[in-house]
Every structure is written in C-alpha cells, then in structure tokens.
Amino acid sequence: MPAPDEEAFRAEVRRWLAANLAGEFAPLVGSGGPGREHEFVPERMAWERLLGANGWIGLGWPEADGGRGLPWGHEVIFYEEYARAGAPARVGHIGEQLLGPTLLTFGTAEQRARFLPGILAGTELWCQGYSEPGAGSDLAAVSTRARLEAGEWHLDGQKVWTSLAQFADWCFVLARTDVAAERHRGLSYLLVPMRQPGVDVRPIVQLTGTSEFNEVFFDDARAAAADVVGAPGDGWRVAMGTLAVERGVSTLGQQLGFRREFEAVLAAARATGAIDDPDIRARIVEAWAGLEVMRYTALATLARSAGDTGTEPNVNKLIWAHWHQRLGELAVDVAGAAATLAGPGYELDNAQRLFLYTRADTIYGGSNEIQRNVIAERGLGLPREPR
C-alpha cells in the first residue's frame, strides 16, 4: 500500500490525538515525563493499548511483521504531533524502540511471531537488563549467569538501573552463558519473563523522589531454551545492535518535548521578571539556538541513516545531554531561591524535577566520557585508551 501523503498523515495523527486525548485520557496530557514516571501508570498502560489497537505502534516496521511499513518521515511526523499534543510519556517505548527493531534484525521468524504482536498491541511491556553493579560503561563485564538445563535457561545474578522493570512483563537480559570464553564471546541475549518466582524487582528511589529504575535480582529465574536472540555466545553482537537503534526517529519527538520544556522556562522567566536579567536572557537565547541546531542535526542524521552514520549518534547524544542539563539549571535559576525548597512531602514542581532528572542525561545511554572515548577512537582515530 503506498504511504499516505505527509500532510494528510499529519492531519490524521493530529485529529486522532485530539479526539482520543479526551474523556478518561484527558488527565494524561503532559504526564509521565522525566522524573514523573510514577504518574497515571495504569491509565498510561491503557493508553498504550489504545495506541496499539489503532495502529500507532510500529509505524516503520515491515507490514509482514505487523507494522505499517511507513517511511521514516511519517514516523517523525507522528512523534512531532505526539509531543505537540502533550500526549503522555510512553510505557512501551523500550519494546517498540529497542527490542522490536532488534528482533526484526536478529530474531527468528518464531521469535518475531511470538513477541512483536504484544509490543504492537501495547499489551506486553519490556525492560532492558544490561547494566549490573560491576558492569555499566564496561558492559562486557556482565556477570549474571545463565545455564541451559532440562530445556530451560536458568539465570542467577543482579541487574541494576533497570528502567520501568516494575511495570514490565519481559526483560531482554545480557547474561554470561560461557564462563570459559573470552569475555565478549561468552554472552547471550535472553528474553526473560518478569512475572515468575525467580525474579525480584526492587525500585530505587531517585533524586526526584520517584523510582524510574530498579534493582532486578535473578534467583534461578527461567527462560525458554528457544528465547535466545542470535546464537548462544553471540549476545554481544546482538546487544550492540540494540544500542545502535537506541537513537532512532523518536529523537525528534524527544526534541519537541525539549521545546515544550524550553517554552515553559521562557514563560516562567517572563512571569517572574527573570527575563530582565542579562545573564538569564543570554542563556535563554543560547538554549533556543541549541534547539534549532539539534533539530537540523537530527534531521540530517536521519536522512543519512540508511547508511553508516559513524560517530554522529555519539556526537548528538553529547550535544543533547549537555543542552538538556543546562536547561534544567536555567529552569531553577529562573525560579530563583524558591527552587531550593520542596513542597510538603517532597512535592517538586516542574522546574525542580527537570533540574534533578537531567543530572541523569549525561549518564544513561552511555555516559559523556564514554561518548567522547568513542568519538576519539572511532571518529578521530586517536590512540585507544590504555586498558
């Protein structure tokens, strides 16, 4: 089926969002963003299912796998309109944006048939089990173990910083399945059900007072023998494939979210009179210019994304993480001394949440130091750092 015309598609998305972000879903507008992931969780899960039932998940996935096979330009439009409407932060984004594309690239036909429909329908939520207390930047140090016994994988170990694990039905886990092999080679990529006796999820309270991420303990947890993506021992390649898709077209939607945050900061600066402070004025102008640069850079990267984009995604991550953190600082500076006080029961306003949550931007998805290492070694050909 030919893709609908872009303008017609934009109008369709806009109409659907206006009609459906109403009634029982009206309170979800603007909810669930950074530092506010605790808001309206059951309602946002229902919203995810509504998106799925109406064909708004997996827009770019092949039709043969249940997607709509739309070009990336249409996906960008969807994310732009989604952000513009203030639609809620997605609870299913890890499945749609990380696991789905990984299965489309590395999964067997059986795995795609088993797992993609739940993501597309918004009925099965996923989390990402990579990081461990001793394995973050140095991910190949993963020590969670899995052994194949009597037709099942048995897992023991601990993951940490596992976003949304408390709501997830499934986790894609990087586990060591061959302790004798060289450390990058002994890993496997397993699909593990979260709701079973051997899995214990403990939320971690963050600076924002809420819990986006968790500790996850595996104590003889089980996964089906067939639920290994790629061959056993080939998990590193698959895990890197997931990271490569991590910054897809949704980055433009993310930037619209940034724009809304920027506009809120600007409105606050006008309301409080902080706009008259020359330092604040200069930082507002800089923030606006940064937004424009990010938008055009992301569009240029996406337009080239059919080929190898080299270290461009690393450069983009560095730029937006830095930009967003500066915006958080600007938000509390605009609020002035009042920003140093939380409300009763540690109630935080949007500026305080933005400031506190954006401390994480330079850590997750690869810290700034690691992005610089990648750019130095792979982009500039500088000598590898001593190990």
Ligand X SMILES: Cc1cc2nc3c(=O)[nH]c(=O)nc-3n(C[C@H](O)[C@H](O)[C@H](O)COP(=O)(O)OP(=O)(O)OC[C@H]3O[C@@H](n4cnc5c(N)ncnc54)[C@H](O)[C@@H]3O)c2cc1C
Could you give the residue numbers annotated as active site? 246
x-or-dash string of contact with ligand X, 142-181, rule CB under 6 A = -------------------xxx------------------
- Is residue 205 within 8 Å of 356, Cβ to Cβ? no
Can residue 355 be called a binding residue for ligand X (CB under 6 A)? no
Structure tokens at 19: 């009609």
Site for ligand X in 108-127 (CB under 6 A): 127
Can residue 210 be called a binding residue for ligand X (CB under 6 A)? no
Query: Among residues 256, 292, 288, 290, which one has the least CA distance to residue 275?
Result: 288
Question: How many residues sit close enough to ligand X to count as binding (CB under 6 A)?
Answer: 21
Among 370, 376, 377, 379, interactor with ligand X by CB under 6 A? 370
Among 61, 130, 170, 320, interactor with ligand X by CB under 6 A? 130
Rounded to the nearest whole angstrom, what is the least distance from the CB of residue 278 to ligand X in the complex? 33
Choice between 20 and 242, CB closer to ligand X: 242
Rounded to the nearest whole angstrom, what is the least distance from the CB of residue 80 to ligand X in the complex? 24
Distance CA 189, CA 236 (A): 8
How would you classify residue 163: left for phi > 0, otherwise alpha for psi between -120 and 50, otherwise beta?
Answer: beta
Can residue 209 be called a binding residue for ligand X (CB under 6 A)? no
Q: Which residues of 226-265 are buried (b: 16+ CB within 10 A; e: fewer)?
A: ebbbbebbbbbebbebbbebbbbbbbbbbbbbbbebbebb
- Is residue 33 within 8 Å of 80, Cβ to Cβ? no
Choice between 8 and 141, CB closer to ligand X: 141
Rounded to the nearest whole angstrom, what is the least distance from the CB of residue 135 to ligand X in the complex? 7
Among 363, 376, 377, 379, interactor with ligand X by CB under 6 A? 363
Distance CA 6, CA 80 (A): 12
Q: Which stretch of DSSP H or E encloses residue 216? A: strand 214-224
Structure tokens at 274: 């902080």
Choose the binding region for ligand X from 1-9, 101-109, 129-137, 341-349 (rule: CB under 6 A).
129-137
Can residue 367 be called a binding residue for ligand X (CB under 6 A)? yes
x-or-dash string of contact with ligand X, 9-28, rule CB under 6 A = --------------------
Query: Among residues 105, 103, 78, 72, which one has the least CA distance to residue 90?
Result: 78
Choice between 66 and 129, CB closer to ligand X: 129
DSSP assignment of 265-278: HHHHHHHHSGGGSH
Query: Among residues 251, 196, 187, which one has the least CA distance to residue 219?
Result: 196
| The residue to which tokens 């992301």 are assigned | 298
Among 110, 200, 263, 369, interactor with ligand X by CB under 6 A? 369
Rounded to the nearest whole angstrom, what is the least distance from the CB of residue 119 to ligand X in the complex? 16
Residues ≥6 apart with Cβ < 8 Å to 279:
none
Choice between 28 and 135, CB closer to ligand X: 135
Choice between 20 and 325, CB closer to ligand X: 325
Position with the least CB separation from ligand X: 136
Site for ligand X in 246-275 (CB under 6 A): none
Q: Write out the residues near ligand X by the rule CB under 6 A.
A: 127-131, 136-137, 161-163, 212-213, 360, 363-364, 366-367, 369-370, 373, 385
